Structure 1
């Protein structure tokens, strides 16, 4: 069963998840640039263009990922990964809603966990905890259980497209 998400629970607004304001944005900017994406920081309190869930969640327009200081790190990575898993010709057409493909959604969730391991101060374990706090739901009950025991298809999808190695 693929992951699903509901609107963030109320407790997430109270600081239950790591936000971009708590990190140096440079490593995320570098990570996204390596995939042909641009991190665009908008001012605190300003609307976030292309946000599917609404502020403070990250937004997408073309190859740009829009964030604010109060944007959850998992949201920025999730939206960026939606673009990474798409071929470049489709990226340019994205505005707010990246996909309706279950395979792409699964791959996006898997890749965001992997890439979190490359960000100082984040790591895969923290990201999975934040995904659970935000409201991602999985058949096995947690993001970690899905990632470790039920995500073979997402991993295979990413390997087949050269987005993961080994």
Structure 2
């Protein structure tokens, strides 16, 4: 467990649910101590099945945003078939990392800086050494991938 990261309990569901609903997703809260359905990493990490993101109160917010990002980038027909593992390519994974940072910036009490800090604390690896350096200096392909699919505006804001 990574204690230095922001957890769902720190925000509450009412902060996350409207964001997920905007993309046609729902959040299911899993009881503390129970296994999280659809979790790729296990432990306290968020899970995905179909149009649903699963999380416990101890789930890191960055994990919830990342897994939701996987569902957001998928076309509806693939989203419905998704269970646990959603990535098709490195380009898609990069786009999801970029999107989770952008989405974190829309949440009160979170922000892009916190998401990037928590990504680094969790152990994401980027060739420039940090999530922030990658986001600011090396993520043009991920950003363009999202813009081309209508998920970000040309100004980099989520649609």
Give the TM-score range, shorter chain. over 0.9
**Is 2:50 aligned against 1:62?**
yes
Structure-2 residue corresponding to 1:158: 146
CA contact under 8 A between 2:2 and 2:121: conserved in structure 1? no
Give ranges in structure 2 of 5+ residues lacking alignment: 155-159
Equivalent in 121, 130, 136 of residue 109 of structure 2:
121
How many residues are matched?
A: 154
1:109, distance to aligned residue in structure 2 (A): 0.3
1:156, distance to aligned residue in structure 2 (A): 0.4
Aligned-partner Cα distance in 2 for 1:14–1:82: 22
Give ranges in structure 1 of 5+ residues lacking alignment: 1-12
Equivalent in 52, 66, 70 of residue 40 of structure 2:
52
> What secondary structure does 2:119 align onto?
helix
Aligned-partner Cα distance in 2 for 1:74–1:82: 12
Aligned-partner Cα distance in 2 for 1:102–1:36: 24
Aligned-partner Cα distance in 2 for 1:138–1:93: 29
Structure-1 residue corresponding to 2:123: 135
Deviations 1:93-145 (A, max 9, x none): 11011113111101000000000011111100000000000000001000000
Q: Compared with structure 1, are the counterparts of its residues 103 and 14 closer, same or farther at alpha carbon in structure 2 (3 Å cutoff)?
A: closer
> What secondary structure does 1:54 align onto?
coil
Structure-1 residue corresponding to 2:22: 34
> What secondary structure does 1:66 align onto?
strand
1:24, distance to aligned residue in structure 2 (A): 2.4
Equivalent in 80, 98, 112 of residue 110 of structure 1:
98
- Please, what TM-score do these two structures have when normalized by structure 1? 0.91
Q: Give the ranges of 4+ consecutive aligned residues of structure 1 lying more than 4 Å apart after TM superposition.
A: none
Aligned-partner Cα distance in 2 for 1:69–1:147: 28
Looking at both structures, which has the greater relative contact order when contacts are Cα pairs under 8 Å and sequence separation is at least 6? 1
Equivalent in 136, 144, 155 of residue 148 of structure 1:
136
* Coordinate RMSD, CA, aligned: 0.8
